Structure 1
């Protein structure tokens, strides 16, 4: 079985399940899909990729809260908000020197999700976290399915 087809199949099935789970738990389905996206986009796969994706996405949530709350300290001085955004964006990138924070897009995904949810981190964090787990399940179940189908096909050919 083609790997892309297998991953597409498991992603489709698990996306439908995620949509139901998100609604049932009162989570943000779109933020969960951002978590899935972060896992799929991370250059590392497996559990290491899941750990890196989780650390970077959650660090992005924290950085967004720094910007939101820092900007609220002096709302009359908009220039300070812009400067803070620049400094934090720099820090979001430079933290990639640490292995678990090395996936810069994950950091920005977490921050963007937090901004989009008006800083409601109590809703964003579980949505992103479950989305990361679903992304891991989508990709790895697809890889497993493709390998199993190929093994079954090879076994059938050997016995023909």
Structure 2
């Protein structure tokens, strides 16, 4: 079994499970899939990849709330756009810190917050659980690939 097939299989199974859990818990299934995507797209694997993607997702939620609340305090629409520009700068420049260097993760968290009309209390657990599911999808796929490889080697040795 190839690595891609094994990860695809476990991702399919766990995606269905995530959908059920999200509905059962009243979470945003699509935001969870954004958390999952954030993990899969990060350049880091394992716990470090999960940590970096979740930290940057959460920073994106924070920055979205700064834009939402900051724009509510100004009376001119153009100032809301200025606030957005300044915050977007900070969303990128924070990458000087290694643990905030995954800029797409920040924008994923921010976009999820905007899509949920600023309901960060619903976005945060959805992104976190989705990221954990992404980690589990890949880790279980890699485990399944290794087990299948060992089974093939054992079967080969038995036929000799």
TM-score interval (norm. to shorter) = over 0.9
Moved more, 150-159 or 10-19: 150-159
- 1:69 aligns to what? 69
- Could you list the per-position Cα deviations for residues 103-130 of structure 1 after superposition, in whole angstroms to 9, with x for gaps in the alignment? 1100000000000000000000000000
- 2:103 aligns to what? 104
Two-structure CA RMSD over aligned residues (Å): 0.7
1:84-123 to structure 2, matched below 5 A, reads: 84-123=83-122
Deviation at 1:159, TM superposition (A): 2.1
Distance in 1, matches of 2:140 and 2:94, equals: 31
Moved over 2 A (4+): none
1:20 aligns to 2:20 (yes or no): yes
Q: Secondary structure at the match of 1:35?
A: helix
- 2:147 aligns to what? 148
Deviation at 1:136, TM superposition (A): 0.3
Distance in 1, matches of 2:64 and 2:157, equals: 56
Structure 2: segments with no counterpart, 5+ residues: none
- Could you list the per-position Cα deviations for residues 78-136 of structure 1 after superposition, in whole angstroms to 9, with x for gaps in the alignment? 11111111111111111111111111100000000000000000000000000000000
TM-score, structure 2 length as denominator? 0.98
